[in-house]
Amino acid sequence: MAYDYIIVGGGPAGCVLANRLSADASIRVLLLEAGGSDWNPLFRMPAGFAKMTKGVASWGWSTVPQRHLNGRVVWYTQAKVIGGGSSINAQLYTRGNAKDYDAWVSDAGATGWSYSEVLPYFKRSEDNQKLHNAYHGYGGPLGVSYPINPPPISYAFLRAAQELGIPFNDDFNGAVQDGIGHYQLSTRNAQRSSASSAFVKPVEGRKNLTVRLNAQTVKVEVQNGRAIGITVATGTGTETLNADREVIISCGAIGSPRLLQLSGIGPADSLRAAGVPVVLDLPGVGSNMQDHLDLYAISECTGDHTYDRVARPHRTVWAGLQYLLFKTGPVTSTLFETGGFWYADKQARSPDIQFHLGLGSGIEAGVAAMKNPGVTLNSAFLRPRSRGTVRIASSDPTAAPLIDPNYWADPYDRECSIKGLRLAREILRQPALKPFVMAERMPGDNLSTDEQLAEYAHHSCKTDHHTAGTCAMGSGPDAVVTPDLRVRGLLGIRVVDASVMPFVPSSNTNAPTIMIAEKASDLILGKTPLAPTPL
């Protein structure tokens, strides 16, 4: 079987591309995903997220010891399933700040990616169940809706943040990002709207689209400076498949630099050190890694105000029935559906802290649940100055990559992270939350100096899973792809996923990745770009 386009990686970007490229029946498209299917109902249930960060449908990787976190190794969930991160994430639908995209153009040379130019692509995907205005649209494949029944403690949180001077905001994706509110979610009718369910399921009957699961690509085949196909592991051996037009790498911000390096495309020194023959010396591949580091405060509640006790068998059964029969109750919650954006650095151009209110105490991997019901308030610093790397350890495609986010290498990141944690603690102490919150348990009232909080962070911090930047687009010497997402120095190959973001947006990264793939599909097909939105 011959293909025009081979898309490697069935995450959000890969699923969008599979849909948009195969819309023309004369174009033959192959989508290859290393992980399996998302048939398990847990993938559909919004609250299924709680199971997902703990290893389900994941590659099982961790970071290398973090030098500036006292040697801590951080668990680093990366999706391995059709839909990629959008099948296992917390479903928060946020786009970041307009200034993030304008900086892609002004500071990285990513011509064509300013906010007014990318906004039409955000809207093209969107099927917003409530909003229709300059910033939002409906009728697209991706369901976007507000939480169904946030519990009273989440409203108390909104009041508490306002008591501290943070304004209420009903739409973080609208004209103003600042403030506190309920998030929009990539859900539709109380079900996760993953990229797989939104973009691939509805078109899987197309004769010109082939989707292969459990198919890890181990190498991009390059001949005379042109990518001509890929080699995929089959279980019993390998198989090489040709792409008549292009190979598109959409393996995510860890997977894409990993596959390029396994194929001999990357920094020559580290390729040689790993025993891989150099095809193209491209130093930026796997550099410029950015991520949002998350610190959190956990308080014990005065009663059963969150979902901690839903884990008990009889409550789980009732919650399941409530969901199946009425589409209400705890299972409709993504557990992180309330939060917002505010400032650690008062001089910052736009909010640099994001809050996620976690409706429980032990929701994510590595965080132990408390005996009594608890509530978590996460704060992530959004514009890190530290830069990390992704490198292959060897030429073996089954070996884990060396993931080094290099958190807190820049002291500014540490300073802002700690300010964010202080803000989170302050919110939890406001009068509006008094009826719900008994006392802070983590970090605990006895820890107050920056040094004590940094020490607490060393052993408790976690990733917000917003990895970006490792195959950055732009026009500088370190750019891996051009603004039309072609790999510099090669023909017939592009990278399309979160790795091409020159700077991580000030938000969660699923919607921005979907936007990138929407725009990429027009670039690949040579279509006229959608008209910029006048703002």
Ligand X SMILES: Cc1cc2nc3c(=O)[nH]c(=O)nc-3n(C[C@H](O)[C@H](O)[C@H](O)COP(=O)(O)OP(=O)(O)OC[C@H]3O[C@@H](n4cnc5c(N)ncnc54)[C@H](O)[C@@H]3O)c2cc1C
Residue type, 421: L
Please tell me whether residue 469 binds ligand X under the rule CB under 6 A: no
Instruction: Please pick, from the candidates 33, 117, 352, 518, the single residue that binds ligand X as defined by CB under 6 A.
Output: 33
Instruction: Please pick, from the candidates 66, 217, 417, 506, the single residue that binds ligand X as defined by CB under 6 A.
Output: 217
Which residue, 291 or 413, is less far from ligand X as judged by CB?
291
Pick out residues in 164-183 that bind ligand X (CB under 6 A): none
Classify the C-alpha dihedral 19-485-177-456 as positive or negative.
positive
Please tell me whether residue 79 binds ligand X under the rule CB under 6 A: yes
Stretch that binds ligand X, among 89-97, 303-311, 344-352, 483-491 (CB under 6 A): 89-97
Please tell me whether residue 354 binds ligand X under the rule CB under 6 A: no
Q: Is 262 helix (H, G, I), strand (E, B) or coil?
A: helix
Pick out residues in 485-524 that bind ligand X (CB under 6 A): 497-498, 508-511, 513
Classify the C-alpha dihedral 189-192-198-201 as positive or negative.
negative
Q: C-alpha angle 465/194/6, rounded to 5°?
A: 90
d(CA 404, CA 99): 27
Please tell me whether residue 103 binds ligand X under the rule CB under 6 A: no
Instruction: Please pick, from the candidates 97, 250, 270, 306, the single residue that binds ligand X as defined by CB under 6 A.
Output: 250
Burial of 37 (0-12, 13-18, 19+ CB in 10 A): middle
Q: How far is the CB of 356 from ligand X (least distance, A)?
A: 8
Q: Which residues contact 473 (CB under 8 A, 6 or more apart)?
A: 104, 108, 110, 113, 479, 480, 481, 482, 483, 485, 500, 501, 502
Please tell me whether residue 191 binds ligand X under the rule CB under 6 A: no
Instruction: Please pick, from the candidates 88, 331, 359, 392, the single residue that binds ligand X as defined by CB under 6 A.
Output: 88
d(CA 71, CA 461): 12
Burial 161-180 (b: 16+ CB within 10 A, else e): bbeeebeebebbbeeebebb
Burial of 209 (0-12, 13-18, 19+ CB in 10 A): buried
Please tell me whether residue 46 binds ligand X under the rule CB under 6 A: no
What is the chain's Cα-based Rg? Answer: 22
213: Cα within 13 Å, side-chain hemisphere: 15
Instruction: Please pick, from the candidates 46, 48, 85, 358, the single residue that binds ligand X as defined by CB under 6 A.
Output: 85
What is the per-residue binding string for ligand X in 415-444, x denoting contact by CB under 6 A? ------------------------------
Catalytic residue among 292, 305, 465, 466: 466
Which residue, 350 or 509, is less far from ligand X as judged by CB?
509
Instruction: Please pick, from the candidates 3, 10, 270, 520, the single residue that binds ligand X as defined by CB under 6 A.
Output: 10
Tell me which residue of 253, 275, 255, 254 sits closest to 264, measured CA to CA: 275
Q: How far is the CB of 445 from ligand X (least distance, A)?
A: 30
| Cross-strand bridge partners of residue 358 | 376
Helix (H) or strand (E) holding 287: none
Pick out residues in 255-274 that bind ligand X (CB under 6 A): 255, 259
Q: How far is the CB of 525 from ligand X (least distance, A)?
A: 19
Stretch that binds ligand X, among 72-80, 138-146, 376-384, 445-453 (CB under 6 A): 72-80
* Residue 487 contacts residue 1 (beta carbons within 8 Å): no
Note the maximum CA span of the chain: 69
Q: How far is the CB of 430 from ligand X (least distance, A)?
A: 25
Which residue, 424 or 495, is less far from ligand X as judged by CB?
495
| Cross-strand bridge partners of residue 404 | 389
The DSSP output letter for 198 is I
Instruction: Please pick, from the candidates 34, 331, 479, 504, the single residue that binds ligand X as defined by CB under 6 A.
Output: 34
Stretch that binds ligand X, among 36-44, 114-122, 132-140, 253-261 (CB under 6 A): 253-261
Q: How far is the CB of 472 from ligand X (least distance, A)?
A: 13
Please tell me whether residue 465 binds ligand X under the rule CB under 6 A: yes
Instruction: Please pick, from the candidates 90, 103, 222, 493, the single residue that binds ligand X as defined by CB under 6 A.
Output: 90
Active site residue 466: yes
**DSSP characters over 227-259:** EEEEEEE-SSSEEEEEEEEEEEE-SHHHHHHHH
Which residue, 194 or 429, is less far from ligand X as judged by CB?
194
Tell me which residue of 86, 185, 176 sits closest to 130, measured CA to CA: 185
Residue least distant from ligand X (Cβ)? 11
Which residue, 31 or 105, is less far from ligand X as judged by CB?
31
Catalytic residues: 466
Interface contacts to ligand X, rule CB under 6 A: 8-13, 32-35, 52-53, 77-81, 84-86, 88-92, 216-217, 250-253, 255, 259, 465-466, 497-498, 508-511, 513
